Each structure stands twice: as structure tokens, then as C-alpha cells.
Amino acid sequence: MTRLLKYLRPFRLGIAVVFVLVFLQSLAQLHLPNLMANIVDQGIARENIPLIWRTGGLMLLVALGGSVAAVIAGYLSAKISAGFGKTLRSKVFAHVEGFSLREFDKIGTASLVVRTTNDITQVQMVSLMFMRMVISAPMMCIGGIIMAVAQDARLSLILVVVIPFLVAVVLLAATKALPLFRVMQSKLDRLNLVLREALTGIRVIRAFNRVDYEKQRFSQANRDLTGTAVRVHRLMAFMMPFMMLTLNVTTIAVIWIGGHRIEAGDLEVGAMMAFIQYAMQILMSLLMMSMIFVMLPRAAVSAERVNEVLESVPEIKDPAEPRTPAAGVRGSLEFRDVTFSYPGAAEPALRNVSFKAEPGEVTAIIGGTGAGKSTLVSLIPRFYDVDRGAVLVDGVDIRDMTQADLRARIGLVPQKSVLFSGTVADNIRYGKEDAAEHDIRHAAETAQALDFIDETKDGFAMPVAQGGTNVSGGQKQRLSIARALVRRPEIYILDDSFSALDFRTDARLRAALRHETGDSTVLIVAQRVSTVMDADRIIVLADGRVAGMGTHRELVRTSNVYREIALSQLPEEEIA
């Protein structure tokens, strides 16, 4: 928790003002019982009307001042805690944006969502309570003890017995709650994961008639979370009635013993009333501290989880002294003896892969499922770093370039098309923020998306639902291709981007791309032989290795792997 306090530094002045206001409020509350005792013992008992009016007026001013201080302190503390939460969310989001895919795989998307929302909310809430009570509770407790002893030292022996007992109970409850809160947050991660998978995969779930199974899965995760939450809150719920019972018993003891002392003439009625008020203030301050201890364990766990994100060092970082490719070099791509393994994998996903792709050429990558095609293209934008070897763009190792510079040279169409909520134009313009209307239209036309866009009522202003659920798979792919085209990059990476297209659209699109990307380097990952037949270079991958390289005609003669793939899709007479 303390490691997050550095993000409160911009609010130091406001926090200081809150502390001063809370101090004044507490001072007012401590002074009121003494004024009340003065009215009862010196005013009412002796029928001193002027003193009653003077002291009563002073009480009114003190109470009013304390109320004003409390209102302003409440407003400022709420504003500061909300600002603190906003800062933390911004810091976490900005830090996560710099993660490589390894960090995402390690922490998990569902957990990152919980940490950015629920965990930061817990930290924000405890910071609000802390500002209000870190001064008030100790001051009320210590000041109440001093004032109570000043009223009657012998009667204060009751508090000597009660206070240590209450403190011990609060500390014991907090100690037992801490591990339970940690378990509860991890189970909240699990619940969020199940819910996220159920919502994003609803079509598959319904198609396979697994709705009941998903309900059971969610119910199990929900029961686990609920069971832990019940255990925690049962422990915490015990504290409030216990504190109130102790407060009432203490009040009865004070009245009973104080009554005997009044009868003996050792104590006045007003002093006993003030003592009761101070005893209540002391116990209420302990109650406030117990509330902090109720929230602090969960907030501590949440802060630890937020810190884990903020202190995670991204594996992929920009070099201290980045290099820029030489002028005149544009679109050259080379894999030089590249080997790469996923974390925890028994075998490398790619082994000793080497090839060159030059501007004006179309390089196709083909292979069976799990051959490493998508892995290979994910290394080019530096989503992962190679284990051995090097990937060079424009003659420079991509590890020596800034990520922004590298990715500005690349137009990527991922295997799974991703669209964002907004309009069709917004999604195409995502590739180039300042793209003009005619550029967007031209990119859509090249991507063979113009026909279905013009058929809609709104055209390029047609709304796209979250995840692109209101467009077909083929339309998604064409919009993703248009997004890459409007960027006009040096290198195009099309990762199985024609799989949802019919053969006619596929052929038209490839012909249009040839004309549009004539001076750029194009990498096409495909399953269809018909898609890659016209490529200048075809790289055949098998088990992460290059099993063949050349044109279609060359590979049919020299590569058994490629020939098998071709024969599985086309008649033999069409292969040659």
C-alpha cells in the first residue's frame, strides 16, 4: 500500500488542508462535552442564567464550526481520493499498453480488468477513509482519554480495562481477514474470466448447446467467491455488534459507578455526563479504527495486485540509443537464423528460419496447422523477441529500433479480424488518423469492401458494434485490410486474411493488392494454395522449420510438403 502513496504527491496540499480541517473538527467535538458539563454544573445547578446563555452560545458556535470543517473536509477528501483513483487507473492502463504479449499471457486479461477496476476502487475507498480518520480517530481516542481523566481519574479506570481488550479484538480480526481477502480477490479474477469467456463466446456456446454447462461453470465460480466473501464478512460483521455491546456496557458501568460517586458527593452530574460523552467518543474512535482495519486488509491485497502490474517490467523495451534505417532503404525484411520459443514450451515454435523479402515482392508463407506461420509474422512487429538470430527491417535489427518507428513501417491484418465500436470510417481511419475521405474510400475499394459499404443506408457512417458483431466474417476481413491499406506502410503483413472470402473475391482482392502495393513488401500467410500460387516467393513451414522455399512451380518439384498441401486442395492437372 505504501508504494502507491507516491501517486498522492500531487494532492499533498489538499491532504494537508483536510488534515487541518479534521483536526479542527475533532477539537470541536472534544470541547463540546466540557462546555455541556459547565452549563449543567455551573449554570443549571446554580441557576446562573447569563452563564447558560454565554456557554450555550459558545457551544453553538463550536458545533457550527466543527460541522463546517467536517463538510469541507468530506468534500476535499472525496475529490482527492477520486483523483487518486483516476491517476492509478491512468498509470496502470498506460503501463499495460507497454506490455509485450508475454506479460499479458502471464497476468491474464481478466485479471488486468479486475485490477484496473475493482482493486483500484478498494484502494480509493480506503484512502478516503484514511484521510478522514487518520487524524480524527487517534485524536479523539487520546484526547478523549485525557479529558475523561480530567473529569474523574478514578472513573477512568473503566476505560483502562475496556480499551486494551477492544484493540486486541480488532487486531485479531484484521490478522485473520488478510489471507481471506487475498483469496477473495483471486476468486474474483476467476469469476471475471468465466464471465468474459461466456459473453465473448456466446455464439459457440449456443451452437454447441453448452448453455447449461456454462451456467454451472459460472455458478461454481460464483459459489466459490460467495463462500469466501461470507467467511470474511461474517468475521467483520462480528465486530460492529461487539463494539456496540461494549459501548453500551461501558456506559452502564459509568452510570452505575458515577451514580454512587455523585451520591457520595465526589462527582457532579455534569461531569458524569461529560465523562459518558468522552467514553463514547473514545469507543467510537476505536470503532472508526476497526472500520479501517476491516477495509485495510482487502485494500492491502488490492494494492499489492496493482503494484504487481505497475512494477512488472516489460520484456520488450526501446533501446537506449535507437537506430534509424538509412535513407533510400524502404521495406526490406530479413529473417536471419531465427529461433523462438514460447514461455514454458518444451520445443521451439521456430527453428533456424532464414529468408529475405524485398520491396515489390509478394512473399507467401504456407504450412500445416501449428507449423509456426502466425508465430513468424508476430515477430516482425516485435510482439515477441527472438531467442536467437535476428529480424531485420530496412537493414536494421528491429531490437535496435524504437517500437513506434518499427510499427509505423508495418500494416498488419491479423488472423482474427478485430473491429472497434464506431463507424466504418472510424475503423478504416484507425490505420491513419489523418486519412482524408478519398483515401478511406480508395482503401475500401481496393479491399473489395466498397460494394457492401455503399449498399448500406449510412455508407461509411454505418455504426460498427463492439467486436464487429453486426458485420460478417468476410466483411470484417475486408475492413481490416482497408485499415492496413490506408496506412500505406513499407511492409504489409496479411495473416490468413482471405480465409473468410469466396474464391472470386479472393482473386479480385489479390489482383487489386498487386497494383496497390507494387513498391511495398507483402507477406501473406495463407492456407489456400490458390492464394499463394502467384507469389514471388513461397516459404513452406513444417514443425517450425523452413521445409521449402521458391516459386509455386519450383516447390511442386522440390518440396514434398508443399506438393502434399497442393494435392490436398487442387486436382493434379492444376498444380503444374
The pLDDT value recorded for residue 573 is 67
Across the range 45-67, mean pLDDT stands at 84
pLDDT at residue 322 greater than cutoff 80: yes
d(CA 97, CA 89): 12
The pLDDT value recorded for residue 81 is 92
* pTM for this entry: 0.71
pLDDT at residue 71 greater than cutoff 90: yes
- Residues counted in the chain: 576
pLDDT at residue 452 greater than cutoff 90: no
Burial class (CB in 10 A: 0-12, 13-18, 19+), 125: middle
* High-pLDDT (> 90) share of the chain, %: 16
Of the CA atoms within 13 Å of residue 521, those in its CB half-sphere come to 20
Coil, helix or strand at residue 543: coil
pLDDT at residue 461 greater than cutoff 80: yes
Angle between helices 269-310 and 120-151 (to 10 degrees): 160
In sequence order, which residues have a C-beta less than 8 Å from that of residue 155 and are 6 or more positions away?
Answer: 148, 254, 257, 258, 261, 267, 272, 275
pLDDT at residue 349 greater than cutoff 80: yes
pLDDT at residue 524 greater than cutoff 70: yes
CATH number of 10-310: 1.20.1560.10
d(CA 402, CA 168): 56
Ranges of CATH 3.40.50.300 domains, the chain: 333-575
Across the range 485-494, mean pLDDT stands at 89
H/E stretch holding 337 = strand 333-340
Superfamily of domain covering 333-575 = P-loop containing nucleotide triphosphate hydrolases (3.40.50.300)
Q: 22 and 68 in contact (C-beta within 8 Å)?
A: no
Phi, psi of 414 (to 5 degrees): -70, 165
Tens-place pLDDT, residues 555-570: 888 888 888 888 887 7
- Full DSSP string of 235-279: HHHHHHHHHHHHHHHHHHHHHHHHHHHHHTTSS-HHHHHHHHHHH
The strands making up 491-495's β-sheet, listed across from edge to edge, are: 410-413, 491-495, 521-525, 362-367, 537-542, 545-550
Tens-place pLDDT, residues 195-213: 878 877 777 888 778 888 8
The pLDDT value recorded for residue 380 is 92
In sequence order, which residues have a C-beta less than 8 Å from that of residue 518 and are 6 or more positions away?
Answer: 360
pLDDT at residue 522 greater than cutoff 80: yes
Ranges of CATH 1.20.1560.10 domains, the chain: 10-310
The pLDDT value recorded for residue 400 is 92
pLDDT at residue 1 greater than cutoff 70: no
Average pLDDT, the chain: 84
